[in-house]
Structure 1
């Protein structure tokens, strides 16, 4: 069935674009004269807009039809990719990346909902497995693809090719949507769309991430960080008040009452944060630290892809604690390689182990979180899961970047080790979650 590949191509592109920009960071810094904060925003701006828009976009799918919103998101993503590739300066690139993130947010919940419409039973479980594989493969292949595009320099585009490559793929997928994707019924009253709640959740997420990006340079960011808690608390209170009054909330908070759902979300956030942070650190260490070209750096990162791909074929058949322990061990080996000032081959070996652990863990973890939710709450769960994935990636990349740049005065090795310390802490959190005995709860409607 061609419908699933069309959906997964969009999922793959939007996930890939969070990571593919990492490998291009050194080229973007040189080509646009961007500073540390600007290049962090090239990555964080995309992920932040993605995370902030996911919850409201799930509601938009209910109100206007999931296929229609999916098509609108793909069209905007394609246009924003073109804008990224044509950006004349760092500020324009950041704005285009934010637009890309908004478009990705429109796509993600609709993709999960459309998969639920297209499949049922065992086929649905397999489709969710393919979804998890697409997300995971995009996450670990971004570095290699970015390096290949920068090095190949098609038409003299350099780093711009990392974004412009989305344009023909997006156009082709758009041409197929009307033929292969089903219409979905609309539900709810458009007047009930909670724009105030959307503003609160978006402002709360910005208040968390902005200080982490600018905190080393701006004193006011402490006040911004302090505002995050009341903004997010205000969002929760508003959703509860809307539900109590009989109106449709932006987010059905009852989804968090599903057994094991909240704990699974924390593990997903930590895993995606570790993946995003690793991509950011590798891009800078391999090119600026070890002096490798973009192509050579991308080649080293293929070890991460290879490990992920090979073990993902066994995903779900290996105990989760073992998979999480592989991620921890791989990061520790990478730190040891940095301490010893080892060459690319030793770094690649560590990345192979890390990718192997992620391949065993990522798809089963995502599937287990979704399997704990009743079908009638699947839309809310999809929005929350997507938000957590992207927020985890943004926070992981931003916190790791802050640790990295904070230690950069001590040299590239010291900065890399500081970043890896953050990543090891995140991976240990995932391991702790996996050590807690639990069983997926599959809810079946009568």
Structure 2
């Protein structure tokens, strides 16, 4: 297949990335209007946000396996259709319970999409083109991050057709329908890994329950002051995930195909790459958490001014990401460290904070795309779906863990004042950035590319 049709498929695939990333942000903007309209309780309004992330984290490994079984394009199409339908359900929700359920369905659909996007990009673009394609992937993530709260705010303020907050979700419907119409024409069919058996339902239940048991207490526990239920939940999650690992090993030993082939962790460079991904996303989430508190409560900025300062982080990411393939790989982590150092010394000046965030965001943009590309390039084709599912899970849980650890350090140091608490949290983020730098400096100079996949004509 020539390169031109491959590149024509990329915008269709990246539409899904944009929509699913955007929905992390627009829901935050819509919360006050949702509260005024539907009168939900505090728990319900929290799950409008958390339900999306929980379903997303719990479903990634399962959806990676489904991509191996049925092919990534088929699962991509199903995920896109479900996300569009769930967005319509969110926009038409008559009460808070329906909205929460629709948000969970949105998160499940996003989980179905995410590994397929990574697998399709890895399959469609071999060699140097893969780095360029992942550069565009990073650019779209940055663009969605920049525009998410702005788009949500504009939609709520403009109140098109009197829809209010519902427009934040309904805007996905025409975009999703257009992407669905183009998927069959422009996205080639990539074969799955040729699995011999079906989905391990017991394993799917174990890994979903285990991941939810990790993410739920970390998200809700911090917001509720770490109530007693969080610790048994984390302990039960550890036992559940251990049972999942034992089951996968037992299936493999019996000659049956597990939900997650643990051999993927033996692929050279994969485990180390996952650690770097967790550190990068943990650093990003921790930084966002600290900024939200420091700018408004510490510096006394209003929500609009604080949002404008935070936009510098996403702007740096957006500007730098397309250039990531053309710079030495250590430049990104070094720029991230420089930005964190500038932020450490920025003091009370919002302008210095914005400049520091611009530098840090550029560092993240330079490091993310090559890192994701190298992690996926380190695995064989038969492990592509499993690797993509694990990679997405690590991104999500790494972000949650990063925000939780950083938040604990921040609040633990707050007796010394806002500056002391912010600097203590930044030191934790510097440790994470140093880990990313170490990985960039020590990994082999050129990742071994995964074998190009044969592409079959569209049906």
TM-score band, normalised by shorter chain: 0.7 to 0.9
Q: CA deviation at 1:277?
A: 3.5
Equivalent residue number for residue 134 of structure 1: 140
- Cα distance change on mapping 1:222 and 1:444 into 2, 3 Å: closer
Q: 2:360 aligned with 1:341, yes or no?
A: no
Question: Residue 361 of structure 2 aligns with which residue?
Answer: 355
Q: Distance in 1 between matches of 2:157 and 2:305?
A: 9
Counterpart pick for 1:84 among 86, 90, 99: 90
Structure 1 unpaired stretches of 5+? none
Partner of 1:367: 373
Distance of aligned partners of 1:361 and 1:54 in 2 relative to their CA distance in 1, 3 Å threshold = same
Between the aligned partners of 1:386 and 1:238, the Cα distance in structure 2 is: 22
Map of 1:259-408 to 2, 5 A cutoff? 259-283=268-292, 285-286=294-295, 295-337=304-346, 340-343=347-350, 345-400=351-406
Asked if 1:251 is matched to 2:260, the reply is yes
Q: How far apart in 2 are the matches of 1:208 and 1:297? A: 31
The question of 1:58 aligning with 2:67 is answered no
| Structure-1 separation of matches of 2:44 and 2:412 | 16
Q: Give the SS at the match of 1:192.
A: coil
CA offsets, 1:221-254, max 9 Å, x none?
Answer: 2111112222112111111111121211111111
Q: How many residues align?
A: 443
Contact kept in structure 2, 1:277 and 1:396, CA below 8 Å:
yes
- In the alignment, is the contact (CA less than 8 A) between 1:150 and 1:295 conserved in 2? no
Alpha-carbon displacement from aligned partner over 1:303-351 (angstroms, at most 9, x marks no partner): 22321233224313434444223223323433544xx4333x3332222
| Residue-by-residue CA offset, 1:273-320 (whole Å, 9 max, x unaligned) | 222343344445555665656554443333223212332243134344
More displaced 10-residue stretch of structure 1: 36-45 or 352-361: 36-45
Match of 2:116 in 1: 110
CA contact (8 A) 1:74 1:107 kept: yes
Partner in structure 2 of residue 225 of structure 1:
234
TM-score when normalising by structure 1? 0.84
Cα distance, 1:135–1:73 mapped onto 2, change above 3 Å: same
> Partners of 2:426 and 2:45 in 1: how far apart?
19
In 2, the alpha carbon distance for the partners of 1:191 and 1:427 equals 41
1:198 aligns with 2:204: yes
8 Å Cα contact 1:48/1:394 also seen in 2:
no
Deviations 1:120-155 (A, max 9, x none): 444444333333433344345545544554555555
1:37 deviation in Å? 6.7
Shift in alpha-carbon separation, 1:218–1:422, aligned structure 2, 3 A: same
Separation of aligned partners in 2, 1:408 and 1:77? 41
Tell me if the contact between 1:45 and 1:98 (Cα under 8 Å) persists in the aligned partners: yes
What are the within-5 Å matches in structure 2 for residues 163-242 of structure 1? 163-185=169-191, 192-215=198-221, 216-242=225-251
